[in-house]
Structure 1
């Protein structure tokens, strides 16, 4: 029972549980998760816990996976605990999402755990990661070239939901407890196959490091991760204080940072703010590595006012003069509407806009500059067909106030309109004449002069 007391100290140290919590316990059937379940059952009365056993079959190892599911179900029944199971075809998921087997399996597990949490109205999900898993994770990330945050390793508690009560308990202690108490578990045969990096680190590298270099390597790696985690927590508090000033706007489809404020920060803090921005925009940092953030930093410090960078999962980072925009990849949608007479109202469904037309008599005190989304044009200059379409290469118009025509591309550049949104700006044409770059500028040749009998009012909204 000394080992259970040790786990309890970890739970209290990180405030993992509260009185009356409902806890979903992820149980694969392996030694760690079996020990976790028995430990939480022993501590159930102390914390007034309700336990739910959850098992996911990844459909990777055929009959062996089915047997493990039955093993966990039988154990839950013997302990008189509710059991929730699901099968997910991880190989198919891997193929459809273009992810690694491990990433696809991890995504499937966490989705299953969250679904189970909601189904049972639970507060926590307990996972069986142990101290050796922590050391292996730190070593793996070091090998892969992770930054400071990655070397913090596995967090003892994440999002206030996922808890790891065994994070300070060694694998050898867990296996010894199960032997002494004659508690059965199953061994995943794939753990012996040196196909994945974790297995290579666990089965090959770690034993060499312990034997030839430092018998205390596991504890040293864990200690390093704890130091880095404390520093990371302090720096994250600073980022949370800075972020509202640097993040100038946040919408459904994008997030905008002020580049000038961002550049005022020291380099390491810039990376942290960028990481926070990507996480805030996308909801997580899946497949976003330190190298991706470094690439964004290089783009920030490089020359050129308009640059863009593609990150995994369809995330685009754009440098637009003094702004850094994080958005989703947008599939370009072309549109073309033609009318032989003046329409009443037109819905541009491709860009989610509507345009209405109204012919009004001339007024002596008509304010022609009331709203950039409303244009007033000389009715006598209208030629049919009236067309609304996207920008095309080679388009020219005569901006109001100019003598000659200008390439629309140059007009966009002069007005700092990013390349990525130029084709989303609708154009209003009278026959082949671009009468209005909608929401921005009308053509000099259709502007209201002197006192025409009638005026065409066009509004986009």
Structure 2
């Protein structure tokens, strides 16, 4: 960090945050102490006042703010710990931006790191969780690129208490830190003392293990990033879409890593994505439910369509993940051109015959097909299916099949079938849009002219 630029330091007034501002100040940094009042304790306002007095005693600028944690956790169905953390970081990072700070410094120590690793271990986290907290990171959930830095991760709690004593400073005491109703405090006051009866240096060993895993995670991240780049298709405001074949072809560990990263990007507020959750997602991708969708958490869903795996904030929407018509709509296609299908686009254009054959042989296009121009009867129609309707799918050698069975074979969700668009020529279904063509206008060795039909997904809204 640049000593000439402001560093905002999270400042509760306890031994850790007090040591943090002292050490930064001694190192020549321009420090601003920022105190967040959670309004959870009867003496919270008194703590805010005393924290300000401590900062002024050190000659450090002080700023304070607060939030209604009880109301926030009721509205968002969060634990007290998580609700307090979210409000605190939101205010701290917002304040850091307003102050033009180069970073937000927090007073996490080696003891906090050990507790964090054990919390993640007990929740069944993977290597990301077991590597603990990084000494520098950004938290995009709060809409800022200001980094959070942890200068005290190599200091133990007794060292910060000693530093305060040597400096003639009396840190504030938070009585809630002794309460074992909180998960972290139970780890601190019950589990760690118990583990030390097995090995007196267990904290050092856990810290060392986290450091090793963090180093190895750096190496593995390259592999994970390559898998992500290969599988990622697009991101919208409410969903992230991945290539289904790509996901299925990944090794199990990489498959879960890609799915975990999708959650992290779509819902960064979800912490501790454990093994059970990613295992459920991986199993769903390989063996989807009949509906093609599954609820993961209160607001997170996963959906599998014919060529995509999508994660959603909220219940999946049909019109984004599947081509859909308004009920009863019939779209007339008098000639090649671009036609709107309820936000989707159907692009019909004459194409080169040889290019068409090459593309067909590659087998890579599910939303693009080539049909024999001269076998089509214009005007074409695009409509939904009719009860009991049959078609002659390409490849069945003239045999017909019920449209309902065709949808079942392609794993189309039941709720999407009624308004799924079909391209009709005369009395024949020549394309079940996005799925497959019929025999009636398929290209043959006698074909002289071809039309390319392309289905385009709706325009992406701007991210942000």
Q: 1:258 & 1:92 partners in 2: Cα distance? A: 41
Determine which of 166, 183, 186 is the counterpart of 1:197.
183
Partner of 1:51: 31
Q: CA RMSD in A?
A: 4.5
Rg (Cα) greater in structure: 1
Match of 1:22 in 2: 6
Mapping of 1:177-188 within 5 angstroms? 177-188=163-174
Whether the aligned pair in 2 keeps the contact of 1:305 and 1:320 (CA below 8 Å) is: no
Q: Runs of 5+ in structure 1 lacking a partner?
A: 1-16, 356-370, 445-459
TM-score, normalised via structure 1 length: 0.71
What is the TM-score when the length of structure 2 is the normalising length?
A: 0.70
Could you tell me which residue of structure 1 aligns to residue 352 of structure 2? none
| One of 16, 21, 24 as aligned partner of 1:40 | 24
The change in CA–CA distance for 1:248 and 1:200 in structure 2 (over 3 A counts) is: closer
Cα 1:409/1:88, change in 2 over 3 Å: farther
**Unmatched segments (≥5 aa) in structure 2:** 139-145, 333-338, 347-367, 370-375, 440-454, 457-464
Secondary structure, in 3 states, of the residue corresponding to 1:169?
A: coil
Q: In the alignment, does 2:51 pair up with 1:64? A: no
- How far apart, CA to CA, are the structure 2 residues paired with 1:440 and 1:58? 54
User: Aligned to 1:107, which of 76, 81, 86?
Assistant: 86
Equivalent of residue 278 in structure 2, options 293, 296, 300: 293
In the alignment, which residue of structure 2 is the partner of 1:412? 407
In structure 2, distance between residues paired with 1:76 and 1:198: 27
5 Å matches for 1:450-461? Answer: none
1:259 to 241, 245, 254: 245
Task: Indicate the residue corresponding to 1:129 in structure 2.
Answer: 108
Alignment match, 2:204: 219
Structure 2 CA distance for partners of 1:206 and 1:25, relative to 1, 3 Å: same
State the Cα deviation string for residues 326-364 of structure 1 (Å, max 9, x = none).
23323679996789xx9xxx999xx65699xxxxxxxxx
Correspondence for 1:230 among 203, 215, 221: 215
Matches of 1:72 and 1:423, distance apart in 2 = 64
Alignment match, 1:325 = 310
Distance verdict in 2 for CA 1:352–1:92, change over 3 Å:
farther
SS in 1 for 2:218: helix
1:214 Cα deviation from its structure 2 partner: 1.8
2:123 is matched with 144
Task: Give the conservation status (yes or no) of the 8 Å contact 2:240–2:262.
Answer: no
Residues 428 and 435 in structure 1, CA contact (< 8 A), matched pair in contact too: yes
User: Which has the larger displacement, 319-328 or 68-77?
Assistant: 319-328
Equivalents in 2 of 1:354, 1:248: separation in Å? Answer: 22
SS of the equivalent of 2:316 reads: coil
Q: How many residues align?
A: 405
Hey, what does 1:240 align to over in structure 2?
A: 225
Question: Could you give the per-residue CA deviations for residues 257-307 of structure 1, whole angstroms, max 9, x where no partner exists?
Answer: 343465343x33333233223323434653532221111222344488984
The 3-state SS of whatever aligns with 1:138 is: helix
Shift of 1:195: 0.6
**Secondary structure of the structure 2 residue equivalent to 1:317:** strand
The aligned counterpart of 1:4 is none
CA distance in 2, matches of 1:411, 1:166: 62
What does residue range 332-411 of structure 1 map to in structure 2 within 5 Å? 352=343, 396=389, 409-411=404-406
Among candidates 152, 157, 166, match of residue 166 of structure 1: 152
Distance 1:144 1:287, change over 3 A: closer
Q: Are residue 93 (structure 1) and residue 88 (structure 2) matched?
A: no
Measure how far apart 1:410 and its partner are: 3.5
Relative to 1, partners in 2 of residues 1:20 and 1:282: Cα closer, same or farther, differing over 3 Å? same
